Amino acid sequence: MRLVTFVDKTTKEQTGLLLGEHILPLAAAVQAAGIDVDVSSVLAIVRGGAESIRLLAGLVARAGEFRPICVAVNTVRLLAPIPDPLRNIFCVGRNYVDHIKEGMPGKPSEVTLPEVPQFFTKATHTVNAPHGDVRLDTAITSRLDYEVELAVVIGKGGRDIERAQAFEHVFGYCVANDITARDLQRRHEQWFKGKSLDSTFPMGPSLVTKDEVPDVRELGLSLHVNGELRQQAKVAQMIFDIPAIIASLSAGLTLEAGDIISTGTPSGVGYAMTPPHYLKHGDEVLARIDGLGELRNRVVAV
Ligand code: MN
């Protein structure tokens, strides 16, 4: 299933199932089908666990019946599937070898790989829509940069989750762009500030349940700026895979349903180019992951 949060002509925020080029609005579908599932938000659906998924999968099977209440995806405004996360987004830094190397040009002998995942977080107000504008606050930063990443959403919470059980705790996946103010990232030393400017975490376009992704390692990520390919890699290239990330993060730290973990970016970021290419007003950033969809965001100077 592909869960979306969207706003239609009524301007009411609602949840839906993405069915190709159409969205099945869930509040109406659940009512018509007479099933008892809290579909008030994608977060509520995630918290509903396996039973919610089972009941909503029944709606997918009967999608033909609900055709009359579907809306065309191009007539609504998609929001991030989880527009208001419970708490900060967990992120992994330096998780692709080539990205670590590009950050240390001319010093190949000094490149050392991390022994444990490097975690940081982004503030909740970074969350942005799949087609939302990204603020380039020119008074604050002149070095805004992109990072395409696979985001994992936790289903069943837990602490001290072992590698072997990690996927039991995954609800699903989406595309994310960990947009970063490089100047703030460096100046403040601790990464939080440079990673937490408003609108700098576009995510979506839908939350794809894990059953739709047979082997997450095979997914390819890519990112284009104004049509120019900048980043291209496979999830399999991550240094710490999803089970390693979940095991490490949940050690002594309780993960909750709806938590978002962004798993790191491959090489090709703008700051490592010669000369560096930072995002500027009017740029269109296209972040894509095979089978999950794409984010298309315009940079707007303010
Ligand atoms: Mn990142």
Axis-axis angle for helices 26-33, 49-61 (nearest 10): 80
Q: Looking at residue 152, what is its pLDDT?
A: 98
Alpha helices in the chain (DSSP H): 26-33, 42-47, 49-61, 97-102, 182-187, 192-195, 242-250
What value does the mean pLDDT take over residues 110-132? 95
CA of 196 relative to ligand 1 center, distance in Å: 11
Token representation of residue 78: 């998609």
* 243 preceded by a cis bond (ω within 30 of 0): no
The whole domain housing 130 covers 89-301
CA of 48 relative to ligand 1 center, distance in Å: 29
End-to-end CA distance of the chain: 37
Residue 134 and residue 11 in one domain: no
| Residues 205-246 pLDDT 10s | 999 999 999 999 999 999 999 999 999 999 999 999 999 999
The verdict on residue 84 lying in a domain is no
Q: Looking at residue 203, what is its pLDDT?
A: 98
The verdict on residue 65 lying in a domain is yes
Position 174, amino acid: C
Residue 19 scores a pLDDT above 90: yes
CA of 271 relative to ligand 1 center, distance in Å: 13
CA of 115 relative to ligand 1 center, distance in Å: 17
Q: For residue 141, which of 279, 243, 3 has the smallest C-alpha distance?
A: 279
Q: Which residue has the tokens 């938000």?
A: 41
CA of 92 relative to ligand 1 center, distance in Å: 6
Which DSSP symbol is given to 286? E
Residue 63 scores a pLDDT above 90: no
Q: Looking at residue 143, what is its pLDDT?
A: 98
CA of 262 relative to ligand 1 center, distance in Å: 7
Check which CATH number belongs to the domain holding 189 and give it. 3.90.850.10
CA of 191 relative to ligand 1 center, distance in Å: 10
Q: Looking at residue 107, what is its pLDDT?
A: 79
How far is the CA of 120 from the CAs of 53, 195, 196, 227, in angstroms?
30, 9, 11, 30
| Confidence class for position 108, pLDDT limits 50, 70, 90 | confident
CA of 49 relative to ligand 1 center, distance in Å: 28
CA of 147 relative to ligand 1 center, distance in Å: 6
Percent of the chain at pLDDT > 70 equals 100
The verdict on residue 240 lying in a domain is yes
pTM tops 0.95, yes or no: yes
What rounded mean pLDDT belongs to the chain? 96
Position 245, amino acid: I
| Residues 236-279 pLDDT 10s | 999 999 999 999 999 999 999 999 999 999 999 999 999 999 99
The verdict on residue 189 lying in a domain is yes
Rounded-to-integer distance, Cα 98 and Cα 50, Å: 38
Rounded-to-integer distance, Cα 104 and Cα 85, Å: 34
Q: Looking at residue 106, what is its pLDDT?
A: 80
Residue 226 and residue 262 in one domain: yes
Token representation of residue 58: 């029944």
Query: How many separate domains does the chain show?
Result: 2
Token representation of residue 167: 């996927």
CA of 101 relative to ligand 1 center, distance in Å: 15
